[in-house]
Amino acid sequence: MSEKILKALMQLFAIIARQDVGLSSRERDFVEGFLKQQLSEIAVSEYLNLFDDYVAHDGKSSEEKDRTEVKLTSVKDSVKTLGIAKKINRTLTQKQKVVVIVRLLELINSDKNFTPQRMAIIDTTAEVFNISRQEYKAISCFVIRDKSEELDIPEILISQSHTTSNINAHFIHTPYLDGKIIILRVQSVDLYFVKYTGKSELFINGLPLKTNRIYNFATGSVIKQPTGKPVFYTDVAAKFISDTAETNIFFKVENVDYTFSNGVKGLENINLFESSGKMVAIMGSSGSGKTTLLNVLSGIENPSNGKVIINNTNLHSEKKKVKEIIGYIPQDDLLIEELTVYENLYYSAMLVFRDQKPSHIADKVDNILTSLGLFQIKDLKVGNLMNKKISGGQRKRLNIGLELIREPSVLFVDEPTSGLSSRDSENVMELLRELTLRGKLIFVVIHQPSSEIFKMFDKVIILDEGGVQIYYGNPVEASIYFKKIDNQINSDVGECPKCGNVNPESIFNIIESQIVDEYGKSTGTRKVQPYEWAKHFESFFKPEAIKKSIPKLPETFVKQGWFRQASIYFRRDLNSKLSNKQYILLNFLEAPVLAFLLAYIIRYINDPESGVYIFRENANIMPYMFICTIVALFTGMIVSAEEIFKDRKILRRESFLNLSRSSYLLSKMSILFMISAIQALLFIWVGNNVLGIKGMYFEYWIIFFSVSALANVIGLNISSAFNSAVTIYIIIPFLIIPQMVLTGAMFSFDRINYNLGGGREKVPLIAEIMPSRWAFEALVVNQFINNDYEKYFFDLRKLESNLNFKNVYYIPELKGYIETYKSKLHAEEQNPISDKDIQLLQNEILKENNSFLAQYHQITFENTELIKPESFNHQTAKEILVYLNKLESFYRENFNKINQQIDRQISEMVNSPEKRNKYQQWYDQHYNSHLATFVKNTYAPLPLIRLGNTLVQKIDPIYLNPTSRHLLDFRTHFLAPNKNLAGRPIPTFYFNLAILWLFSVLAYIALYYDLLKKFLLLFKKREVTIQTSKKQK
Amino acid sequence: MKYRKTKMEIIKQKHIIMKKQKIILVILSVLLVQVITGCQQGQRQEATDLLSDSFKDNELRLNDAMIREMISSVPNPLEITSVLQKTGVVYSQDLLNPAGNINNYNTNFQRALNLGVYGTDLIYMNIYDRTVATLRYLSNIRELASDLRVEQFFDYNTLNRLSESSKNVDSVLFITNTGFDRMTRYLIDQGRSNIAILISAGTWIESLYIATHAQTTPANKEIINKRIGEQKKVLDNLLLLMNSYDHNSDFNHLIEDLKSLKKQFDNVTITYQYAEPSIKESDGMLVVVDNSRSIVDISDETIKNITREIALLRNRVIE
């Protein structure tokens, strides 16, 4: 109580005491007692003197003129009262004013001298104080009356051992209590006052509660009696509020069983029924299934049997409907450590409320922070457990705040006090307890609660090993219940008669007590098995019936639209990333440093004596492209591999918000893409510059970026599917190494296992699913075809190569079959040509008829149907030979033409020394001979090979147009210059780029539906069924 | 205050994000433009244009059979270089065309000539068992042949493997020599006699260059000089072959150079003495021996002049 109130009180006390009969000794005693209650010994006498002074000031004159000037004096005092009251009005808050009125009334009540003058003064004061008539009436009623009948108004709560016939007043049953505890609620200022009429020794918050004295019943107060249940602030408040806040949630659990995936029983036959405004503890020894129960009740896990029903809606089968009214606060932190306390709450709130302006939400956040007592630290980063910035209690409160802000109707809290000091624990629990006043239903898993906390709960569920429910009811009675069964003395006393403590440990001591052998050592066998407890419980427990009609589910908040959600997620993520300087620095330095190291190492100078770097002669350009691909994969995956994993707890909570997963994922992806794009830019810029790769920045960048982006999405997939950081980093090599092997750079596709498709016409199927192969091919093909030098000659050289191949290898090969046939025929051999060879000839001639060159030479073989084993004869062979010779001369002549044309072009370019120099420079800077060797497959052991009944070109793949068998056949040989899409040739670069993004889209779909996780679960389930079936055998 | 600050920050971030979005937009549009123009570039020159782009093929050609015969009169490098080895000529690295020069050869003309040059060098080195150094020459030959689109005659893998050991020298020499022979024949068949002629010219020029610059005893020098003098006939044939391509400026330059070389060779006189062939027993078999001789008369002055001319010519070829 402040000095101001005290002074004002002393003055008012004095005025009132002076009236009529004057100061009685009782009244003075009251004042003294009141002061003693508030102040130290010295201060008491000081204020008492002040009081005496005030009384004495006008005392004499009043005594003298006692009889004649009664009214006059009272008028004078009235004026004085008015003056003081008005003065008080300016300095005291409404709450303090109510306290003053209560004290004034208490003063008069001390000697029951209710003269009209005295009452008039108090009335005036109350009026000046703007206290409503009704409340003033209630206050005076509470102060003056003692009898139940007289106290029958809704502002009063009576707590006693026997019931009353009161209709309006609230009632709390307190067995063994002598007299009654009367509590007044002044609703306008949310104050509670208490007085006690009995003779027992009661304590309010540890201080003695004197009979007929009025005490402030502050938030969190508790009145303890020697025996029996204490009266908690929350209980009292709940009684008053239950009228205002309607019960709107009925939470019913029927016969719930839960079996773990490995077949072990987690929960067995759980039943409970709760409604709004309750706080329920879930207790049990470790491993008894507390958290499992919480998970099943909150809908995270599905029960294997039974159901959980919230207001007629099945939680598990109609999850979508009820999801949003459920809040879940896991034991672990849900905070984003890089963000501040404020930001954590702010983004959480932003995600939840749509209709409100940011400023509105900011106000709301500030309010919550104030009520959590976190306002002072709102700009601190939360940090992590290793690097603490805020205390454990603050973290916990903030975690609760995240849920509070959207006010779910049912809240599940897992071990909110673990790791907290007892003071912090109590704070947190009081916070939760207050929530029940607002009609929330709260389930709390709690381990070893203190007596204080234990008694805060309305109900407690006790589980025993194997998830067996062995108690469900009042916490204090739990102790009595188990003691009774255990046949202990004092079994009817729930708590310590002296200190009022209930020791929840003692309950578990009884439940788990073990049989002792003759030496007093415990044998490890329990006295009472869980199922025996369960039996006891079943006979004891009678399920409550639902009395009221079941209301509809409460309305939930309105969510943000998709785009807003995404933008909030985006900002939240971006903010948390930007605030981590180390992360930003490392990520953006990694790429250029790696690029520099790599490029500088492979900056090979062919002629060390000259010391001049010539791009054309650098043998490492192809490997550089390969490394680019791998680095892109690596950086992309590393940057994303922990993203969702890191957020998983937050996601678990946010899953109750029914937020859009796609908005979360896309916002995440866009940030990762941004990082990857910048990394790609830095890497390519540095790498290409060091190696002297001219003018291909964009192409390199887009490929690097696309691979990184894909790796980002793949990384997100892993981080969403696996549940530990170590697993994630073990998985990464599994994803990268096959991609390295099957890129086509390290191992030629011609020389990998034939069973996997090696050495065939087209890229092996297994490599087709490797993004690295598409990226690498795009880079290589683009670098070769589109470099500033080759792009002038590419089309000519391609044609030259096609003609040359036909002329030098292909036609002679075909002719070889005919010539062999002829010579064998001549030698009169039995079977001059095999059916397979005939088939080959037919295939190839058909192919030749349809080749793109056929439209120019117009040389076709019409009677292809004759090339069949049954009709193949000397004549056919002759015709084929004629045909082939014609083709050959066409190819030869045109090859010469093209060859000379190219030569003329180049000759012109070098026909003077200056031009020649220029040409040389141009050539040296843009063309890479080693890459050319690679794309032309110069060292192929065979220029063409026979596969089955077809011939396949192996040299010059870069100049070979792929053929497709049907419209959707887009597969080609490696390093084809273009690919066919629905019969139209698309440059390989663009085609491969499209494929990479197609992969990304597929990976995104997998991510969206969490396919990888589902797949892994499938695997796990199978494993389990195998194990169990083995066991059964 | 602090709250306001966060608000400001949020607004600022919004700006940053918007800016970033703009950048992304720009990048995307650039990408789009690139894709569109890229597609257009893709349809650069149609094969039709290339094929129908006929050029005047009115070269007055010699008959293929004649060309073949005349080219075969050009001694292959093995013939000349083995003479050098037998006459105790010391191997000299300096005489070779540096392997690095390959970068200078951009046209078919240069490539063909230097394919011949490198071929001679390769054989010269192999005769003297310089197997390690041959690898680069082998790859040069392979590269030039590949550029000329006649790579099929040099199985690089085999040659590479063979040249790793000096035991295989004979095989390398054989494959290279026959490779050159087959290549020239093939080129003539393919209507690319000009390339064939140039390759032969290259081998001949390089052979002559090495022969003229070889260091040995005076007695041996005599034998070598005689062989040099015999090249008069070969040069005449080469000039004859080349004359049909004199409309080409490159050829023209070469012809001019060869002509000035020929001027020096004009000072060489070769007299042919006929004698009855006789029959001799050798290894239990009867062999016909040609007893005719050609007498080469070549002065030291002429040798000097030829040496000077050929060096000029050869260095122009390889530059």
Residue A596's SS3 state is: helix
Chain A residues 334-363 within an 8 A CB cutoff of chain B: 342-343, 346, 358-359, 362
Q: How many angstroms separate the CA atoms of A753 and A380, rounded? A: 59
| Nearest alpha carbon to residue A384 among A419, A328, A340, A336 | A336
Contacts of A343 in chain B (CB under 8 A): 6
| Nearest alpha carbon to residue A735 among A713, A750, A706 | A713
Phi and psi dihedrals of A52, rounded to 5?
Answer: -60, -40
Mutate to test the interface with A, among B25, B190, B198, B251 (most CBs of A within 10 A): B190
CB A113: neighbour CB atoms within 10 A? 18
Q: How many angstroms separate the CA atoms of A685 and A142, rounded? A: 83
Residue B30 has pLDDT above 70, yes or no: no
Cβ contact B152–A359 (<8 Å): no
Q: Check residue A596 and give its pLDDT.
A: 95
B16 falls within a domain: no
B24 falls within a domain: no
B35 falls within a domain: no
B305 falls within a domain: yes
Q: How many angstroms separate the CA atoms of A493 and A223, rounded? A: 17
Contacts of B3 in chain A (CB under 8 A): 342, 362, 366
- The angle subtended at Cα A1023 by Cα A1020 and Cα A1029, nearest 5°, is 140
- Contact yes or no for A777/A989 (Cβ under 8 A): no
Residue B34 has pLDDT above 80, yes or no: no
More reliable by pLDDT, A397 or B199: B199
CB B270: neighbour CB atoms within 10 A? 14
Q: How many angstroms separate the CA atoms of A560 and A1012, rounded? A: 29
Q: How many angstroms separate the CA atoms of A491 and A425, rounded? A: 29
Cβ contact A910–B107 (<8 Å): yes
| Nearest alpha carbon to residue B135 among B114, B157, B113 | B157
Cβ contact A904–B55 (<8 Å): yes
**Whole-number Cα distances in Å, A63 to A52, A54, A66, B298:** 15, 14, 5, 168
pLDDT tens digits for A462-502?
A: 888 888 888 888 777 787 788 878 777 665 555 555 555 67
More reliable by pLDDT, B215 or A923: A923
Q: Label residue B311 exposed, middle or buried (CB < 10 Å: 0-12, 13-18, 19+).
A: middle
Q: How close is the nearest chain A Cα to the Cα of B69, in Å?
A: 22
pLDDT tens digits for B109-127?
A: 999 999 999 999 988 888 8
* Structure-block tokens of residue A226: 């020697």
Cβ contact B190–A570 (<8 Å): no
Q: Check residue B45 and give its pLDDT.
A: 41
Q: How many angstroms separate the CA atoms of A823 and A881, rounded? A: 13
- Contact yes or no for A261/A1021 (Cβ under 8 A): yes
Q: Check residue B58 and give its pLDDT.
A: 44
Q: Check residue B3 and give its pLDDT.
A: 47
Cβ contact A852–B47 (<8 Å): yes
Cβ contact A987–B38 (<8 Å): yes
Phi and psi dihedrals of A274, rounded to 5?
Answer: -140, 160
B306 falls within a domain: yes
Cβ contact B55–A897 (<8 Å): yes
Residue B203: give the domain boundaries.
Answer: 60-269+300-318
Please count the residues of chain B: 319
Ranges of residues in chain A with a pLDDT under 70 are 1-2, 20-21, 37, 57-75, 205-206, 219-221, 227-229, 234, 241-247, 354-355, 385, 489-501, 542-550, 555-560, 1021-1033
B278 falls within a domain: no
Phi and psi dihedrals of A908, rounded to 5?
Answer: -65, -35
Phi and psi dihedrals of B151, rounded to 5?
Answer: -65, -20
**In the Cβ-directed half-sphere of B22, how many Cα atoms lie within 13 Å?**
6
Q: Check residue B56 and give its pLDDT.
A: 41
B12 falls within a domain: no
Q: How many angstroms separate the CA atoms of A267 and A296, rounded? A: 9
Nearest residue in B to A793, CA atom: B45
- Whether the CB of B6 is below 8 Å from some CB of chain A: the reply is yes
Q: Check residue A497 and give its pLDDT.
A: 52
Cβ contact A795–B44 (<8 Å): yes
Contacts of A942 in chain B (CB under 8 A): none
Cβ contact A987–B39 (<8 Å): yes
Q: Check residue B36 and give its pLDDT.
A: 47
- Whether the CB of A405 is below 8 Å from some CB of chain B: the reply is no
Q: How close is the nearest chain A Cα to the Cα of B223, in Å?
A: 39
Share of chain B above pLDDT 70, in %: 79
* Structure-block tokens of residue B140: 């040069």
Contacts of A796 in chain B (CB under 8 A): 45, 50
Fold observed for domain A250-540:
Rossmann fold (3.40.50)
Q: Which residues contact A583 (CB under 8 A, 6 or more apart)?
A: A577
Nearest residue in A to B57, CA atom: A897
Confidence grade of residue B21 (pLDDT, cut at 50, 70, 90): low
Query: Which of B45, B156, B190 has its CB closest to that of A892?
Result: B190
Q: Which residues contact B64 (CB under 8 A, 6 or more apart)?
A: B188, B189, B193
Nearest residue in A to B153, CA atom: A808
Q: Check residue A987 and give its pLDDT.
A: 94
Q: How many angstroms separate the CA atoms of A261 and A488, rounded? A: 41
Cβ contact A987–B109 (<8 Å): no
Mutate to test the interface with B, among A903, A918, A956 (most CBs of B within 10 A): A903
pLDDT tens digits for B57-105?
A: 444 556 788 888 888 888 877 887 888 888 888 888 888 999 888 888 9
Cβ contact A343–B54 (<8 Å): no
- Contact yes or no for A857/A890 (Cβ under 8 A): yes
- Whether the CB of A808 is below 8 Å from some CB of chain B: the reply is yes
Number of domains within chain B = 1
Residue A34's SS3 state is: helix
**In the Cβ-directed half-sphere of B69, how many Cα atoms lie within 13 Å?**
5
Instruction: Parse chain A into domains and list their residue ranges.
Output: 1-131, 250-540, 562-603+625-786, 800-926
| Nearest alpha carbon to residue A971 among A769, A694, A676, A700 | A769
Q: How close is the nearest chain B Cα to the Cα of A777, in Å?
A: 17
Nearest residue in B to A801, CA atom: B149
- Whether the CB of A921 is below 8 Å from some CB of chain B: the reply is no
Q: Check residue A121 and give its pLDDT.
A: 81
Q: How many angstroms separate the CA atoms of A616 and A926, rounded? A: 7
**Segment (H or E) for A901:** helix A874-909
Cβ contact A574–B35 (<8 Å): no
Q: Check residue A65 and give its pLDDT.
A: 42
